[in-house]
Amino acid sequence: MKKAVFYHAGCPVCVEAEESVAKAIDGGVYKIEYVHLGEARDRIAEAEGAGVKSVPAIVMEGQPFHINFGASMEDVKG
């Protein structure tokens, strides 16, 4: 299985992206993990290390894809 991590912060834009884009990804090919960075603050460094600049974002096989704009990582950290 390929690996995808969907990072979000519970924001409305995040929820839209999760319900449409993330949920549309083929679960037979990708194992998707959902990470709420407002709750799992110990995962923030990992997300930034993967190149995540804002949420919602999905990191697929290590490559970051930002989906619309909900909040910056600075907002998430703040």
Query: What span, in angstroms and rounded, lies between the C-alpha atoms of 40 and 20?
Result: 23
25 binds its own copies (CB under 8 A): yes
Binding window for its own copies (CB under 8 A); candidates: 21-29, 36-44, 70-78: 21-29
> Taking a C-beta distance cutoff of 8 angstroms, is the pair 4, 21 a contact?
no
42 binds its own copies (CB under 8 A): no
Residue from 5, 9, 14, 17 touching its own copies (CB under 8 A): that is 17
72 binds its own copies (CB under 8 A): no
Quote the radius of gyration of the chain (alpha carbons, Å). Answer: 11
Instruction: Report the residue number, 10 or 64, with the smaller CB distance to its own copies.
Output: 64
Tokens representing 54 are: 């804002």
